[in-house]
Amino acid sequence: MSHPRFFSGKFLLTHAFLTLNLAYVVSPAPGRAQSAPAVASTATNPLLAPWSGPYGGVPAFDKVKVEQFKPALEAAMAENLREIDAIAGNPQPATFANTIAALERAGQRLDEVQTVYGIWSGTLSTPEVQAIQRLMAPRLAAFNDQINQNAALFKRIEAVYNSPDKKKLTPEQQRLAWLYYNNFVRAGAKLDATAKTRLSAINQQLAGLFTRFSQNVLADETDSVLVLKTPADLAGLPASLQADAAGAATARKIAGVAGVITNTRSSIEPFLTYSDQRKLREKAWRMFYNRGDNGGAHDNNAIISEILQLRAERAKLLGYATHAHWRLDNTMAKTPEAAMALMEQVWKPAVARAKQEVADMQALAQKEGAAFKIAPWDYRYYAEKVRKQRYDLDQNEVQQYLQLDKMREGMFWVAGELFNFTFASVTNVPVYHPDVKVWEVKDKTTGKHVGLWYFDPYARPGKRSGAWMNAYRNQQRLEGNVTTIVSNNSNFVKGKDGAPTLISWTDASTLFHEFGHALHGLSSSVTYPSLSGTSVVRDYVEFPSQVLENWLPTPQVLQRFAVHYQTGKPIPQALVDRIEKASTFNQGFETTEFLASALVDMKLHLAGAQKIDADKFERETLAQLGMPAEIVMRHRTPQFSHVFASDSYSAGYYSYLWSVVLAADAFSAFTEAGGPYDKAVGQRLVQNIFSVGNTVDPADAYRAFRGRDPKIDALMRERGFPVPTAQPAKQPAAQKPASKKS
């Protein structure tokens, strides 16, 4: 997942919320609009100073003060406006060099200020930071519209795009010219003055609503905890989870209790899996799944309705039937209908499998004397019991071999094998929190510096939940060899008194997933920053991260890095065999909870201008879909930050499934060859997927790697679903972007 982040000067896409990494793309730097004050002194506001120090410069996190954000943003925006004035007002005929490349160079200071601002907003969100967010979000949206609606600037971009000289440009330059032109058009550059004014007002309103939505979710996550009062409340919890709960109580200064379960997925899901106390499981479940849906000041339902209305109006202004049609016009899928076709193809077998899983759990519960019907807060608990009974596989046993630090070392090793990278810990750069650690990444053969990787693994108050990747600086060669700086962020519960942090198999998979995004950024080898790293279309950006998950269960990783936290002995092969045997277990649940969120997201945004009651729409849509009563959406609408904390994944949550089709098919290229570490296939993966950024049409890039279009077969086999006998008419592979681009 990812969180929203604003950029000017370049089309940069960060995978932050991917969280939410809710990546956010904005159009290039500004146009004429207002008089611009001089940039404040860097002596009085270090946020405005260019990044300095080793590795091509690094953020000066140790000098940041919250009160500096507002004046720094204002000054950097003003400077960026002057840069754009110079480009838009250039008396010379528009060329790629004096317009497109000039835009790529503009906005450096604002990019750097907003990078730091985004980190504080997502990981150190105090009331003071939140007040600045509420103030600045609409102003940043208005600023971006000044850029998008600058007629003189667009005229020059359009001239370059339509010039017969364009064919003389390199393929990368031609794609960049198209990207600028397309993004400006999609942002309303061709609208008349009245429509532009209304569009800007909508964007400013939405920016404020997005901020309120995300702050409401954060408040429910931060303020709500489940207090375990007595030792009896710990019944069923493994020792590691009991220690985590005790540590959380200490961190929150809650004395005289057995422990505390915080309101984040990394804490809630293990509790729901192991707690023998059904009433406490229900309390934990309701606390987590009702975030943003509790009435009062932090309720998000009215905000959702307003966001949907504004999005529908904006889509109509821009000439699209719905917000979903606008969002998917610039993706691999191209249309909501294509995305729906894929989801519907997987939905029925997923629900059928989920119903089988529920029947198995109900039978076991009744055998144990339970006199109730399986409820959503029972699902993980009884699924674990069935897993243990059927496969002799206890996830708690597996967790003893999954130490966070060792899994990180395993990721580094995989990166060395597939990407030829080495990682070395460094302490000569400032960090924004003591938990954050930094590694220098080098080429294993040449020793050449590749970039920096920051890791912020632990939950804390003021840090939003989830896991995401961020790019602090994108690789580029426009002005020298600029290397990248990327980060991964998680919300694990920190081990008490230096004890190792044990994580679940699911958490380990998520760790590899987010590291895949980081490797996408680190592998980038392009000239222009707007085309760098993860700056690709939404339903393609998850592909490199999804595919990397496949290397976690390889014997080479497990035998070296899955070692017992007490004995240091590697995970027994018999346990690995049981993990493999159970690999398709519970796929009905996991696929159904995801697809329910993706389908509701799409249907909300296909509903057009109708006034929507979010809770009612969610209930009725799930009933129409035949959603099993024992399962809830992975992200219910009142807390669906992917969709309502920015435009990022709106009408786009389907992209995880779209990407996992690509990932499953891509990994089968390894299994068909010499195995997961086949050098030739790995080299093709890096050259055609990870290193090219957005310089190549994604459908063409995939074909260059695989030699054909992707098929859904590998995904269906991977999840234990029936493989279709014939491919449907609409597949990810069939949706080759128009020759114009994607």
CA angle (477, 478, 481) in 5-degree steps = 30
Point out the catalytic residue in the list 514, 593, 618, 718: 514
> Both ends of the chain: CA-CA distance in Å?
22
- Quote the CA–CA distance of 253 and 250 in Å, as a whole number: 5
The 10 Å CB-count burial string (b at 16+, else e) for 205-219 is: bbbbbbbbbbbbbbb
Q: Which residues sit opposite 383 in a β-bridge?
A: none
Can you tell me the distance from the alpha carbon of 243 to that of 264, in angstroms, rounded to the nearest whole number? Answer: 17
Q: Could you tell me if 246 and 228 are in contact, meaning their C-beta atoms sit under 8 angstroms apart?
A: no
CB hemisphere CA count around 64 (13 angstroms)? 24
Q: Alpha-carbon distance 304 to 83, whole Å?
A: 37
432 alpha carbon, distance to own chain's centre:
21
To the nearest 10 degrees (0 to 180), the angle between helices 655-672 and 538-548 is: 40
> Alpha-carbon distance 321 to 299, whole Å?
29
Comparing C-alpha atoms, which of 41, 112, 32 is closest to residue 71?
41
Cβ neighbours, 10 Å, residue 103: 28
Sign of the torsion angle spanned by Cα atoms 466, 469, 472, 478: negative
Q: What are phi and psi of 259, to 5 degrees?
A: 170, 175
CA distances in angstroms from 192 to 86, 114, 215, 653, listed in the order given: 24, 30, 35, 32
Instruction: Decide: 175 and 741 in contact? Cβ < 8 Å.
Output: yes
Cβ partners under 8 Å of residue 547, min gap 6: 516, 662, 663, 666, 667, 685
- Cβ atoms of 113 and 48 within 8 Å: the answer is yes
CA–CA distance, 495 with 497 (Å, rounded to integer): 7
Strand pairing report for 449-458 and 484-492: parallel
Partners of 440 in beta bridges: 424, 452
The tokens for 427 are 């302490």
The answer to whether the CB of 579 falls within 8 A of the CB of 553 is yes
Paired tokens of 157: 């971009």
737 secondary structure, DSSP code:
P
549 is catalytic: no
What's the farthest any 2 CA atoms get from each other in the chain? 83
Burial (CB < 10 A; 0-12, 13-18, 19+), residue 740, is exposed
- Read off the DSSP letter of residue 400: T
Neighbours of 89 (CB within 10 A): 12
- Which sign, positive or negative, has the C-alpha torsion 628, 348, 577, 513? negative
Question: Which SS3 state, helix, strand or coil, does residue 647 take?
Answer: coil
Contact 183/329 with Cβ under 8 angstroms?
no
Closest by CA position to 293, among listed 217, 396, 407: 217
Six-digit token string for 29: 């730097």
Q: Give the active site residues.
A: 514
